[in-house]
């Protein structure tokens, strides 16, 4: 469940900037932009499939219940973990290839805000993975927040749009 990081003692001994978790795993972002994961393999603790992609330049990692999403310095997003919890973003590869500034997760979905203030969502619709019914309102988004099953977007004019 992530409580035993002894196998990664050397990697976690110094340089960790940020740690975030899923239900049963952790991801640590180090100062060199690399990510170290541990815990339940099915909950994002095993990042072997994306090892090369998260070896450098990661700036932020967010967790859902059983998956992680990482934002890289070039604004691209890398996901891993349970596909049913947002761990598979391949269908949105083009939209998530650049300009992402922040990502946040609910239990089974993620939302990313891009430099132009637009939003990209993926994962289970009942956990906020489908923002189509508020899509027209999701412009000039500056920040994101989430609960277990919903997202909130703060816009440049100070208004808030919610879904999920």
CATH number of the domain that residue 117 is part of = 2.130.10.30
92-133: pLDDT as tens digits: 999 999 999 999 999 999 999 999 999 999 999 999 999 999
Structural domain includes residue 1:
no
Structural domain includes residue 65:
yes
**Cβ(77)–Cβ(88) under 8 Å?**
no
Alpha helices in 16-75 (DSSP H): none
Domain interval for residue 113: 6-163
Structural domain includes residue 43:
yes
Structural domain includes residue 58:
yes
* pLDDT (0 to 100) of residue 1: 73
Q: For the chain, what is the domain count?
A: 1
Structural domain includes residue 51:
yes
Confidence of residue 6 (pLDDT cuts 50, 70, 90): confident
For 133, the 3-state DSSP assignment is helix
**Terminal-residue alpha carbon distance, the chain:** 27
pTM, entire model: 0.95
Cα–Cα distances (Å) from 33 to 60, 90, 139, 140, in that order, read 9, 22, 30, 28
For 52, the 3-state DSSP assignment is coil
């Amino acid at each position: 469940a992530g409580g035993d990081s002894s196998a990664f003692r050397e990697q976690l001994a110094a340089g960790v900037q940020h740690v975030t978790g899923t239900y049963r795993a952790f991801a640590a972002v180090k100062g060199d932009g690399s990510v170290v994961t541990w815990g339940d393999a099915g909950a994002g603790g095993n990042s072997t499939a994306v090892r090369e992609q998260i070896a450098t330049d990661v700036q932020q990692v967010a967790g859902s219940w059983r998956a992680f999403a990482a934002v890289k310095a070039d604004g691209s997003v890398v996901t891993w973990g349970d596909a049913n919890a947002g761990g598979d973003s391949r269908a949105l590869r083009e939209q998530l290839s650049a300009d992402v500034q922040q990502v946040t997760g609910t239990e089974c979905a993620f939302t990313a805000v891009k430099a132009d203030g637009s939003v990209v969502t993926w994962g289970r619709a009942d956990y906020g993975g489908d923002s189509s019914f508020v899509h027209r309102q999701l412009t000039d988004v500056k920040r994101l927040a989430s609960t277990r099953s919903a997202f909130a977007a703060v816009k440049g004019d100070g208004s808030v749009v919610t879904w999920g």
